[in-house]
Every structure is written in C-alpha cells, then in structure tokens.
Chains A and B, each alone.
Chain A
Amino acid sequence: MRSLRNWGALLLPLTSLFSLSSCSSADSTLALPKDPTPPQVFKNSNLLRTIDITKPYVRETIAMVIDNISKEPQAEYYVPIPKGIVENISYLEARGEDGPHVVNLAVFNPESETQYYRVLLNAPLLAGKSTRLWITLAQTDRLTPVPALIGQTEKQFLQWTGFQYAASAYVTEKQKTKIKFPNNEVPDYTVLKNGESDDPTKAGSWYTYGPYKTVKPDQKGGKAITLRFEYTSPVIKMTRMERHIEVSHWGGNIAFEERYWMTNLGAKLKDTFSRVQWASTNYYNPPTSAIKQLTFPLIPGAQDAYFTDEIGNVSTSHFRSNIREAHLELKPRYPVFGGWNYSFVVGWNHDLKNFLRVSQDGERYVLKIPFLEGPKDSVTYDEIEITIVLPEGATDVKYSPPITLVSQEEYLHYTFMDTLGRAAIKMKAVNVVDEQHKKELIVTYRYPTMALYRKPFVIFTGVLTLFTFSWLVSKIDLRIGK
C-alpha cells in the first residue's frame, strides 16, 4: 500500500513535491525510496540494440516488441538512463508503428542514480496486447582517445565503455546488442562468456553481444564492456556556432552567415608539429586525425560564398556550384590536430523565391529554411545560436523550432537603413548532433505593403525636406537697399 502511494506521488513530478511534503507532515517515516522504479506493467519480449560508433557521437537504436502484462491499458513506457549520462544525451526519440511518440524527461528523484525518460504512447496499449517500439538516442562526448597522445602520422584509436545489456525498466526476455565500428580494426574489446559460446561474435565491422535470455530490471546493464577501435577521422566538435539568417524583400535575397569555434577532441600530438613531415605525407593523402578540410553541401543555387577568419579572407577554399549541387570546400589555415582550435566564418546568399511564399492577399508570408546546415563531415555542437532577421515591420511572427531549445527570444535587430528595427528571433540550443541538419524551420509572419515602402519613404521625406529648406533659403532676400 505504501509503495503504491509512493508511486502515485512519483508519477506526477509537479505534484510530487506537494504530496511529499503533505505525506511527511502526516507520516514522518514515509520517504522517497532511493531508487524508485516504474510499475512493472510491460515486458520486452524481444529487443535489439544497435550502437553506431562510426561518428564522433554514439548513436543507439533500440528496436523492441513490448507486451502489456497488466490488467489495464497502459500508455507510459519508461526508459532508464544512468544519471551521469543524462547530460550527454543530445536527443532521445521514440517511434511506434503509428509514428513518433512524445518523449519527456520524468524527474522522480533528482538524486537517484537512474533517471527516466517517459515515452507517451500515441494510443494506450490494451491489456495483453503487444506492439513495436523504436527508441533512438545520441550521446555526445562519450568517446575518448586511447592513447591520448599519438605521433603525427600514427593511427588514432578511440575507446567507448558501455554495458552488455540494454538497460530497461522492465523484464527483457530476449535481447542482443550489435555494435557498428568504423572499420575492422578493433584491437581491444571485452570478451564475455555467454553460456558455452564466446561473446561477442564478429562479422566484419559488426560485433554482436548476445543473444541473452531473460534479464531483470535490477540487473541494469550487466557487465561493463570496453571497446577500443581505430578512428580514421578527426573528432570534430564545434564548441560554439552562431547562424545568422537575414531576409530581404527588396533585394529578393536571403543571406546566411555561420560563425564556428571548432576544436578537435581526437588524440593530441606526442611531439611538436612537423611541417615537413606533414607536407611530404600529405602527398599520399593518408587518413589523419587532423581536420584538413571541411565540405559544406549547400542547397543548390547558393551564391557569393565566402570563408574568412580573424585575419581576413582565407584563400584555400573552393566553391563548386552548378544546377545540381553547391559545395563549399574549405581548408583551415593549418591542419587542426587534437586539442587545437580554429574559428572561422562562412556565408552565402540565395534567391529568396525558393524559401519564401506569399498568400493570395500578398501580406502573409511563410519562410521555410533548413534549421542547421553544417559540414558534411560528422560533427557535434556544444552550443548553437540561430538568429533569423525578418524585414523591418514584420508582425505576428510565429515559428516552431524542430529541436528542443534552451532559450528563445524575439527582439529588434538594427542594421542599414532601419528606422524601427527589424523583427528578429534568437534561438539557443545545446548539445546538438549533425543529424539535426536535415530538419526544417518554418516561420510565418505578416508584412503589410505599407511596411515595405517605409525605407524609400524615409529617404523621400529626408530629401524633400532638404529641397524645401534650400528653396526657402534661396527665397531670403539678402540684398542691401533697393
């Protein structure tokens, strides 16, 4: 009875504080259990976890068949995440047979070692029924270079530590974990015994742990597994990125500008950098842990691309643009090795007609732009700030960001020929991975024709005032006598 009451209080994070305090005043012995667990209303009859470590972040996909083993329909499925990892999670998405489900972080006990994400199924699962559920999550900063220091031409290895089982809040009857490596070179991996057979089994760049028989929730992840594998690319991290988008109705133009503060989280150099060795080995174009080049696949039709840094224009860039593609290829001023930093600015223009549509009455506008566009090379972002500057006088601005933000604000942006200031939106997000590049942002606004003519009208008024003034001055009679 007590545990039931406890659980009810935990289910509603908002009311939990209130009910807890009222409980404690009535019954001082009642306290939160150390590790609250969700009710055992589901069981996972089959589960396949795929861990992709081919990118600088870890992407985990859990495909499972869940059965409702309770007597009532159930709509809340809980996913446990160890407390230390919650901050590394860039996103956690859930999808069912009927499309994406709503996911949010359920706070039961902020002190607990296990935190939970709550998946709200679109339709409650009836008693005794089963359905399929896919959970995808990305974790950043989970790969560390081992050894931490390497020579300039040596291979780079990264290490990942995780668990043999997919942690679940429910009993899992059958499961296995598949791991996708960037290539076949895996010098170290944890070997376990699974019954009679060796664990894992290998097939090319895929390693499989399991299949395992029934695993209870209190077993958590089971034994820890550590994998060390070759990673032939740099571990690119944008510690900060600012994206500035400016819409111009007069110019029929949309301008993009992105500022990057980039670092390489890969293995650091053991010795000092040797330019001679770099130049001589570069001839063969070997895989390297340094960031040598970045390619930005822009939307076809991009124009006037530029690449600058604090010093000025960086001439080692190519902009290949034709009807089918627009690739901006940049080479930083120096190869960016592990622990080195580089900051730069890229920008380009587009014709507005592909991004902006107007209603029949000519006053309502819809702007549809990519939320993020970044390099083709796999990257993660610590913090991003996206600013969208609409024309001066735009009102009723509405937008729906495609990813979770930490803050958003609307403000007035001042630039050339502005009198009132332009309506602008600023959005901030943290811990973003490059998978969000494809997402679209839609902004709608009202822009009356009168607002469009504000700029020429202001200049017209100013010039006309000058004409009037000069005419008045010319009419002053300064002659002496008649």
Chain B
Amino acid sequence: MDAEWDSMKPFVPTIGKEGHLSVAAVLMLTGFFLTGLFSINKSVTTAPLLAIPASLALGFGSVYLICAVGVYV
C-alpha cells in the first residue's frame, strides 16, 4: 500500500479552509436574494429561473457554512 501512496498525488479540496466563510457568505446571500425575488415574482417563466439557482446556491452554501463554523462534514 505504501507504493500506492507514493504514486498518488495529495488531495486538495476545491475550496480550502480559509475560503469557506467567504464562499458560504456569497452563496447564502445569493440564495436569499433570489428567494426574495422569487417571492415577489411568480410568473410561470421566471419562477424556475429564480428557484433553481436559489436552491443550488443554498445547497452548496449550507455545506460550506457548516464547514466554516467548524463542523467538517
């Protein structure tokens, strides 16, 4: 197994520990902003354009937020 270890490259996360808080803040604020827009505009065409990006931002944002506060999931 040691040979395998030597042939592999170190694991580098997409966003390091120092970036968690800022990334989480940007994503969460975007998410909440889009949610606000969604609440005042519910036409059939614009609703999915707001809801899907908002969900994505809140999904990734909450994972980074929990990491930023020290609960590494």
Contact with A along B11-22 (1 / 0, CB 8 A): 111011100100
A365 surroundings in chain B (CB, below 8 A): 11
Q: Which label, helix, strand, loop or mixed, suits the secondary structure of the A interface?
A: mixed
How long is the Cα–Cα vector from A400 to B4 in the complex, in angstroms?
Answer: 14
The answer on a CB contact under 8 Å between A459 and B62 is yes
The answer on a CB contact under 8 Å between B11 and A467 is no
Does A127 reach chain B (CB closer than 8 Å)? no
Within 8 A of A (CB), among B13-53: 13, 15-17, 20, 35, 38-39, 42, 47, 51-52
A248 surroundings in chain B (CB, below 8 A): 67, 72-73
Contact with A along B54-69 (1 / 0, CB 8 A): 1110111011101100
The answer on a CB contact under 8 Å between A255 and B72 is yes
Tally of contact residues, B, Cβ under 8 A: 36
The answer on a CB contact under 8 Å between B11 and A415 is no
Given contacts A353-B10, A365-B11, A442-B2, contact A455 B17 (CB under 8 A): no
The answer on a CB contact under 8 Å between B13 and A252 is yes
Does A143 reach chain B (CB closer than 8 Å)? no
Does A354 reach chain B (CB closer than 8 Å)? yes
The answer on a CB contact under 8 Å between B63 and A417 is yes
Given contacts A248-B73, A442-B1, contact A358 B55 (CB under 8 A): no
Q: Which residue of B lies closest to A252 (CB)?
A: B13
B66 surroundings in chain A (CB, below 8 A): 416-417
Does A253 reach chain B (CB closer than 8 Å)? yes
The answer on a CB contact under 8 Å between A250 and B67 is yes
The answer on a CB contact under 8 Å between A460 and B13 is no
Does A471 reach chain B (CB closer than 8 Å)? yes
How long is the Cα–Cα vector from A366 to B17 in the complex, in angstroms?
Answer: 21
The answer on a CB contact under 8 Å between A368 and B13 is no
5 A-B Cβ contacts within 8 A? A251-B72, A252-B15, A252-B17, A358-B9, A416-B73
